[in-house]
Amino acid sequence: MHKIPVTVITGFLGAGKTTLVRHLLQNNQKRRIAVLVNEFGEVGIDGELLKDCQICDEEDNPNENIIELNNGCLCCTVQEEFYPTMQQLLERRDSLDCMLIETSGLALPKPLIQPFRWPDIRNSATVDGVVTVVDCQALASGTLVGDLEALEAQREADPNLEHETPIEELFEDQLACADLVLLTKSDLVEETELNKIKTWLSQELRPGVKIVSCDHGQISPDILLGFNAAVEDNLETRPSHHDHEEEHDHDDDINSVQITLEQAYDPKKLVTTLTKIVEDNEIYRIKGFVNVPNKPMRLVLQGVGDRFDYFYDRPWRKDELKQTRLVFIGKELRQEAIEESINNVSL
């Protein structure tokens, strides 16, 4: 089967990445597009903006094609977050034409691209191109980001952030990895200043990388998609301040365990047991649905590390079984041991 082309959209907080993706979805020219949104802090805002585009056909589900990864900087949670999500999406690659990854304002581009060298992803997907979104108004005012305080707050709010990259170096890395630079808010800058910014940016980019002004994310998909760059094959030509650091290696011992149970569970008692299971095993994520006694609503449960969240999303349908279904993603997990621990939960 064909490889799914993946476009990585990077840039600082507030540069206009979500506006760009939203416009692309609304003007998709019948492309079937899946989107990964990496956000934290203001959890759910970007994802809801994209899901509310109202561009999905009746047979499409925006909750399947627009996925939020909100447990920290994506380049720092590659194995725990990105890898299992990509596996799920690639299982349906015959129903997708392309994929977008909207990074957080703190993500380094190259660590996110390196997993596309792993065999189980490389055989099914390729990084078509990297688009770096730049706030022209911020550059004109002498800064790299429009709201520095918001960026620092985002940095402090991310418990999984493993790099303390100065924003100047992060900006240089974003430019060095780009196949296209989009200048947003250029309508707020005088033409002479705009030309100076373009001249300066061109000196920071690899030969042949274009700079395009973009008003409120309104740009043709034909410009954003179809670079055919196979970025994972030429990362060495895209220098980074972090090239000397150890690459995120793929751990072949990562696996998932899926458990289906017929009985109903009290959410608090179940979370107490799951917390103990996390303490005894190297588990990155737990997610699934829970059948709660005497409740007509389905409970959605999500866990990252020892942090759990659960909520009722909708009533059980008449044609579906009221089952508790949980997926555990971690390292060297044993199905029997986890099932035994779950079965010890008092009802």
Residues 293 and 205 both lie in one domain: no
Residues 120 and 51 both lie in one domain: yes
Residues 23 and 146 both lie in one domain: yes
Per mean pLDDT, which range of 3-12, 34-43, 72-81, 336-345 is the poorest? 72-81
Residues 80 and 113 both lie in one domain: yes
Residues 157 and 259 both lie in one domain: no
Q: What are the Cα distances from residue 1, in Å, to 25, 33, 99?
A: 24, 17, 16
More confident call, 216 vs 148:
216
CATH code where residue 317 lies = 3.30.1220.10
More confident call, 54 vs 214:
214
d(CA 250, CA 247): 9
Is pLDDT of 290 > 80?
yes
Residues 42 and 83 both lie in one domain: yes
Q: HSE, CB side, 13 Å, CA atoms: give it for residue 243.
A: 11
Residues 233 and 268 both lie in one domain: no
Q: What's the pLDDT at 167?
A: 75
Containing structural domain, residue 291: 254-343
Residues 70 and 40 both lie in one domain: yes
116 in any annotated domain = yes
242 in any annotated domain = no
The mean pLDDT value for 117-121 works out to: 84
d(CA 296, CA 303): 23
246 in any annotated domain = no
Mean pLDDT over the full length of the chain: 77
Domain count, the chain: 2
Q: Is the separation of the CB atoms in 12 and 143 below 8 Å?
A: no
> Which residue's entry shows tokens 């520095």?
148
Is pLDDT of 246 > 80?
no
Q: HSE, CB side, 13 Å, CA atoms: give it for residue 346.
A: 0
The mean pLDDT value for 67-94 works out to: 64
Per mean pLDDT, which range of 219-223, 285-289, 310-314 is the poorest? 285-289
Residues 222 and 298 both lie in one domain: no
**Which residues fall within 8 angstroms of residue 280, CB to CB, at 6 or more apart?**
341
**Which residue, 191, 208, 237, sits at the end of a domain?**
237
Task: Kindly report the pTM of this predicted structure.
Answer: 0.61
Q: What's the pLDDT at 160?
A: 46
Q: What's the pLDDT at 229?
A: 92
Is pLDDT of 47 > 80?
no
Residues 289 and 323 both lie in one domain: yes
248 in any annotated domain = no
Indicate the pLDDT class of residue 148, thresholds 50, 70 and 90.
very low
The mean pLDDT value for 70-79 works out to: 46
The mean pLDDT value for 244-265 works out to: 67
Q: What's the pLDDT at 342?
A: 84
Give percent of the chain above pLDDT 70.
Answer: 74
Is pLDDT of 72 > 80?
no
113 in any annotated domain = yes
Indicate the pLDDT class of residue 77, thresholds 50, 70 and 90.
very low
Give percent of the chain above pLDDT 90.
Answer: 19
Most confident of 103-112, 201-210, 256-265: 201-210
**Which residues fall within 8 angstroms of residue 54, CB to CB, at 6 or more apart?**
none
Residues 270 and 337 both lie in one domain: yes
Q: What's the pLDDT at 30?
A: 87
CATH code where residue 222 lies = 3.40.50.300
Residues 150 and 259 both lie in one domain: no
> How big is the chain by its Cα radius of gyration, in Å?
21
**Which residue, 237, 272, 307, sits at the end of a domain?**
237
> Which residue's entry shows tokens 């751990």?
251
Q: What's the pLDDT at 59?
A: 45
**pLDDT tens per residue across span 156-210:** 544 444 444 577 888 888 999 999 999 998 888 889 889 988 998 898 899 999 9
225 in any annotated domain = yes
319 in any annotated domain = yes
Is pLDDT of 295 > 80?
yes
**pLDDT tens per residue across span 82-101:** 777 788 888 888 888 999 98
**Which residue, 202, 237, 272, sits at the end of a domain?**
237
